[in-house]
Structure 1
Amino acid sequence: MTRSLLVASVALTLAACGGGSDNSSDTDDQPVFNPSAPEAPVVPVPEDGFAPEAKGISDITLVDAYGSPLANANVTISPLSTVATSSLRALSSSIVVVTDSEGNLVTSDLEPGTYSILVSIGTVSVTFTLVVGEDNAGDSMSIIAPLVISEDVDGGVVAVDLSGEGLFVSLSGTVFDADGPVADAQLSISGGDETNGAVATGFSDAEGNYTLTFNVALAKLAAISEGRIRVHAEGYLPYVVTVSDELEINGTSAFSGLNFELIPREDEVTVFYSEDFEQSVDGSCGSWTEYVLQESDYSEEPEEWAGPGVGVAAVALAPVADDTLWNSHTVGEGIINQAFLDGLVVMAPDDSSEGAVPDPESNIACWYGDDVTGAATTGNFMGEADENPQDSLNGGDSLTYNAGAIVSPEIDLTNIEGSVSLSFDTWWEIESVNPNENGFDLMTVEYNLGDGEGWQTLIRLNPLTDPVTELAAEPGIEDEYVVAASEPLDDVFDEQYHSRASLPYSNTGFNRAPRWIAHEPVPLDTLVGNFVTLRFVFRTQDSLYNGFRGWMLDNIRITDEVGSFPISDSTYLPGPPYDGTTEPEPETFSVTANYTPNPDFSLSEGSTRTFTADVSWAGGDQVVGSIKLQVFRNELLVEEVTVTDEVFLGKSTSLSVDAYVGNSSDYVEVTLTVFDDEGEVIYSEQHYHSVAAV
């Protein structure tokens, strides 16, 4: 069985009309970088306290949507606006350079200001914006471009333009304190509840410099714009700032000079419970109990999987193995992922581990993964592998799904006052095909109060959306692609389709090397006053793409720190795994709508457009009472129209409304809502348009 890749088809692009070949000199529609006072405790800073030395950017590394270097790309950097300084030379005209084999290019020192970057590979060109902040202190940065690059069988370049298909954003800056740069600070950017925490995580280097790049669905633009950047370092107070207070994100863009000054921590953290697994014996995970999931460990009403045309079957579950894959993992075991050695999975571009399973941060950690060493160096969560066949780069197939938990002793939270949170160190690497919270390789933290309600979901670690990559090959889709090669298109799509099956999704992002990170504290305030049992649960949910290195935990603690990680919006457990069969589809109510203008189109600024929806519906015994078409600009309703059953043409109708689309910094949302005869919503969908300069 094969699962198809889903890609959001909403459109929001930074490029002007004409397919991104050039940018207008008008800078009103460019992303804005707004340095502001940090939202951290304010303490006096000595007059001779450290301040990063401002400098221009002289080295840039370009990567594609997969994080792979953009080699041999033609790059044009043009100034849109600059800020005069005494130490940096202004870039008065465009510069044209070519990246090397690692995606690197050397520029003149780019002074503070806004720049248009045009990247061309073959006949494909994309345009986006770089904003260099006045306090930029790093001379290099990495930038993600809205492109996917691969090769055909003859070594020709296959380039796919993803402009308008997702958010491709790069951030860089410096972390420091009053004494100098802060190394190994952990930085993350989050859309909160809407992204289930961080969409990207990175660390500062020895000079305090960091880079964050991320690739997420375009629908998360508003959430990330109003989301948070969080900086955490041992011995310092957490630094949290709202994204919109610092910068304005519009589609694909890059920002440098986003600096953070940390304040040393003086208060002591109270620890109510801890487990570091150092007392593990014979493979056990400290005082926690390993457990193979049973039928009762899934919800009675399975959640619908987002995959196309496949329903989740409610299957009778039984243990699939006598032992769970949870086990203690000690320093020096030297386990290598056999799926990597067999060519079933690949390492992320920034991963130099050669498939090694990392050592714990201390001596012992708890890991969900095979721990056989010697001749068989498994190192993944395949369990019993499906050897027939194991095709190259298929991600690794198991004979069946697998799932397991580690369960804590009962924890006393009855005599605690004030804020309480759960924190832990974590490292994980799973599939990138469908890693979303309703997909596969699910990682959850669950709780039981012993009140007869059973296990409930506290948080999920999976992202809410899958990464944005090229669309699947479908009839007629060839026009969406440009291939700089002599190979016929059909052969390219059949033989060289750039699948995500072999690529990882990790706790630092899509196709990024996993790292040990300190998980953002999880609020437990609602559980105070109870005896609580916790468990960490891994569920593959199917037998596909299980050749990755799994989930590792260490230093679990409950403290008096304030929790901030989003609590799950549903306390119910995930549905049962997919068993490889598809149940007959009942005749269900469905709606089809064709829109004018097409949702993939960018709208010209300053125009008034007629938005039309031709709607039809079928299936089931659902009664349609009315249908509403609404047009929003920047989330504010500007026009709407409603039709009722009196003007329905059988099971179809048409709606139209005129609306002003705004300027090139705006975006337009078109919403269709279908109501039954009681006025209840029975169907809705949204589409987005960017507004581009002409």
Structure 2
Amino acid sequence: MRIWVSRLLIMSVVAMVAACGGGGGSDGAGNSLGGGGGAYDPAPGNVAKLAFVDANNQPLANAEIKLVSEAEAKKAKMAKSAGSAGLTFPSASTFPDFSAVAGLFLDEKGELDISEIVPGIYFVQLTHNSVQVYHIVQIAAGNAVVLFSITMPISCDLSSCTEVDSIVGSLSGMVYDDKGPIEGAQVSLGAGTATNGAYAVTTTNAEGEYSLSFNVSKDLAETLATSTLRAVAPGYQTSSQAIEVNSGSLAGVNIKLEKAEQDQGSVLWRETFEADSATRDLWQKEGGLAETRWQYLNAGHGISNNLVGSYVKLAPGDLSAGALPQALQGQVSYWYGDVTQGNFIGERDQDGSVNDDGGLSVSEHQGGLVSPSIDLSEESVPLALSFRAWWEIESVNPNENGFDLMMVQVSTDGGSSFENLARLNPLADPESSLERDAIPYSNAGFNAPPVNAQQEPISLDAYAGESDVVLRFVFSTEDELYNGFRGWVLDDVVISRTEGSFPLYEGDGEDEVGGMEPMAKSGLAGTGKRVSR
């Protein structure tokens, strides 16, 4: 019998109800109940295909797996798990001896077509390149997902693998309303200030299905136990539910969204950057380089990162071939980068560059995008800022020592001085055996393809009543290393009468970032010190 106390499951959903303020309820199995007669409910079903990826989101091609259900393990007295109490999921205190269990081999995609797997708890042993790791998974009774993607605590390169000692796993389910599945809903896992917002983000497919993969430092284990599962979609109330996250994979967490009441008065200021915007020409650009700066990203642009395949890599599953996204909404977005290179490297240090070095610049650089003055003198709390964002930066230091900083700043004196409001960079600090120089970190997570996402609202309550508010969006490389990624795209900037929930910047608001004042080089805004991997 294998004792495995440190790999305790997983997640427990503290609440699995519909959107905030919505009707309906939960059957306690991850399947929300309809709000009225004839309302849609996901049809529970069995999983028919498993997909296994490592902690870097890479498919575990040709790996061997062994599966034992909890029922089989108990019958053979091979393992124990804590019983499920209400909405608390079970946890493994021991893993079975898999020596008598038949092995199954994954295909080149790391997938396995298998007889339908009924809901329940399963123990998994995976062997790849002579390394064995163990994992516990659960398929909830309300599961409607046919393909279950499982993230394993192992990190592999072309010839070897290493077990990782971090919080690794996955979460999948469906987002729906009374009429059926919702395509394009945004689903995220976050743990507040400790992770600086979401540490995994995705959007639902045409069937309303989502799958989140995470790899977070074990130093944040206590914080992950108070994570939030958040789902948003245009025209719907935001769903925000407490969920306890630990190492493991879970399928069948379905989220019902309720229609939002039409309240045109909730939006009090908006910038779309479209040609018909009365204020888009009032925005100012500061800093940057001759070619690498804040500039328009027009629909149909055809811009691609020319360093992909030589100095930087795309995340697994990124089918863009290195192309920048089209406008995040409408026809125009803003982007910090170079249209000729498709990245933010600026002038490349060709003498010092080597393949897969992430892109070496001659020097660090930074630039700010500054809004026109915004009058909030007649406004009261709550107030919040949100926007659409897409970003891809380095993955070497996704922690308090972060680089490629993305800061949001605010001024109350018309732009004469600024203070830091929020930093978008993650603090998840994932573990990996790979050289990270060429590997991206995006707004979807570690080594994940970037997504067009709605920024979690950032509170502006402190600025209610101010008459001369100016916003500044700052991108700063902080140094010359790992600058070959695609950067930050920004669109649809909105101030609304909404509660803010994204963590506010906690460092010294007067600190500097790069050469622009005030941006941060301490606290959450980065220390300017590299941590070697």
2:473 maps to amino acid? F
Q: Is residue 54–residue 152 contact of structure 2 (8 Å, CA) maintained in 1?
A: yes
**Cα distance 1:334–1:33, how it changes in 2: closer, same or farther (>3 A)?**
same
Q: Is residue 74–residue 119 contact of structure 1 (8 Å, CA) maintained in 2?
A: yes
SS of 2:48's equivalent in the other structure is strand
Determine whether 1:57 maps to 2:47.
yes
How many residues get paired?
474
Determine whether 1:99 maps to 2:106.
yes
1:227 maps to amino acid? S
2:465 maps to amino acid? G
Q: Is residue 476–residue 513 contact of structure 2 (8 Å, CA) maintained in 1?
A: no
Query: Offset at 1:114?
Result: 0.7
Question: What is the rounded CA distance, in whole Å, between the counterparts of 1:122 and 1:169 in structure 2?
Answer: 20
Question: What is the rounded CA distance, in whole Å, between the counterparts of 2:16 and 2:436 in structure 1?
Answer: 41
1:277 maps to amino acid? F
- Higher radius of gyration, 1 or 2: 1
**Cα distance 1:562–1:95, how it changes in 2: closer, same or farther (>3 A)?**
farther
1:349 corresponds to which residue? 316
2:500 corresponds to which residue? 563
Question: What is the rounded CA distance, in whole Å, between the counterparts of 1:81 and 1:465 in structure 2?
Answer: 35
**Cα distance 1:540–1:261, how it changes in 2: closer, same or farther (>3 A)?**
same
Query: Offset at 1:47?
Result: 2.1
1:446 maps to amino acid? Q
TM-score, with normalisation over the residues of structure 2? 0.84
Question: What is the rounded CA distance, in whole Å, between the counterparts of 1:37 and 1:432 in structure 2?
Answer: 33
CA offset digits 1:389-409 (Å, max 9, x no partner) = 321111111100010000111
Determine whether 1:160 maps to 2:162.
yes
1:656 corresponds to which residue? none
1:255 corresponds to which residue? 250
Query: Offset at 1:561?
Result: 1.8
**Cα distance 1:79–1:94, how it changes in 2: closer, same or farther (>3 A)?**
farther
Q: How does 1:22-421 map to 2 (within 5 A)?
A: 30-31=9-10, 33-34=12-13, 36-38=15-17, 40-43=20-23, 45-81=35-71, 96-151=103-158, 157-162=159-164, 165-244=165-244, 249-250=245-246, 252-269=247-264, 270-279=266-275, 286-292=281-287, 321=289, 325-340=293-308, 343-361=310-328, 362-372=330-340, 378-421=341-384
Q: Is residue 196–residue 424 contact of structure 2 (8 Å, CA) maintained in 1?
A: yes
What is the root-mean-square deviation in Å for CA atoms of aligned residues? 2.5
Question: What is the rounded CA distance, in whole Å, between the counterparts of 2:415 and 2:206 in structure 1?
Answer: 51
Question: What is the rounded CA distance, in whole Å, between the counterparts of 1:442 and 1:574 in structure 2?
Answer: 13
Query: Offset at 1:76?
Result: 0.4
CA offset digits 1:511-568 (Å, max 9, x no partner) = 1111111111111111111121110000100011100001010000101122111111
**Cα distance 1:226–1:333, how it changes in 2: closer, same or farther (>3 A)?**
same
2:160 maps to amino acid? V
SS of 1:345's equivalent in the other structure is coil
2:413 corresponds to which residue? 450
Question: What is the rounded CA distance, in whole Å, between the counterparts of 1:322 and 1:336 in structure 2?
Answer: 19
Q: Percent identity?
A: 34
Question: What is the rounded CA distance, in whole Å, between the counterparts of 1:37 and 1:335 in structure 2?
Answer: 42
Q: Is residue 392–residue 443 contact of structure 2 (8 Å, CA) maintained in 1?
A: yes
**Cα distance 1:138–1:292, how it changes in 2: closer, same or farther (>3 A)?**
same
Q: How does 1:616-627 map to 2 (within 5 A)?
A: none
2:141 maps to amino acid? E
Question: What is the rounded CA distance, in whole Å, between the counterparts of 2:511 and 2:449 in structure 1?
Answer: 27
1:181 maps to amino acid? P
SS of 1:219's equivalent in the other structure is helix
Question: What is the rounded CA distance, in whole Å, between the counterparts of 1:286 and 1:437 in structure 2?
Answer: 35
1:546 maps to amino acid? N
2:519 corresponds to which residue? none
Question: What is the rounded CA distance, in whole Å, between the counterparts of 2:200 and 2:342 in structure 1?
Answer: 25
Q: How does 1:414-429 map to 2 (within 5 A)?
A: 414-429=377-392
CA offset digits 1:425-454 (Å, max 9, x no partner) = 001000111133432100000011129993
Question: What is the rounded CA distance, in whole Å, between the counterparts of 1:573 and 1:127 in structure 2?
Answer: 47
2:88 corresponds to which residue? none
SS of 2:223's equivalent in the other structure is helix
**Cα distance 1:76–1:452, how it changes in 2: closer, same or farther (>3 A)?**
closer
**Cα distance 1:421–1:565, how it changes in 2: closer, same or farther (>3 A)?**
same
CA offset digits 1:211-262 (Å, max 9, x no partner) = 0011111111221221211100111100010013xxxx33x20011101111
Question: What is the rounded CA distance, in whole Å, between the counterparts of 2:195 and 2:406 in structure 1?
Answer: 15
SS of 2:334's equivalent in the other structure is strand
Q: Is residue 271–residue 280 contact of structure 2 (8 Å, CA) maintained in 1?
A: no
Q: Is residue 64–residue 128 contact of structure 2 (8 Å, CA) maintained in 1?
A: yes
Question: What is the rounded CA distance, in whole Å, between the counterparts of 1:228 and 1:441 in structure 2?
Answer: 26
Q: Is residue 449–residue 532 contact of structure 1 (8 Å, CA) maintained in 2?
A: yes
Question: What is the rounded CA distance, in whole Å, between the counterparts of 1:183 and 1:241 in structure 2?
Answer: 20
1:26 corresponds to which residue? none
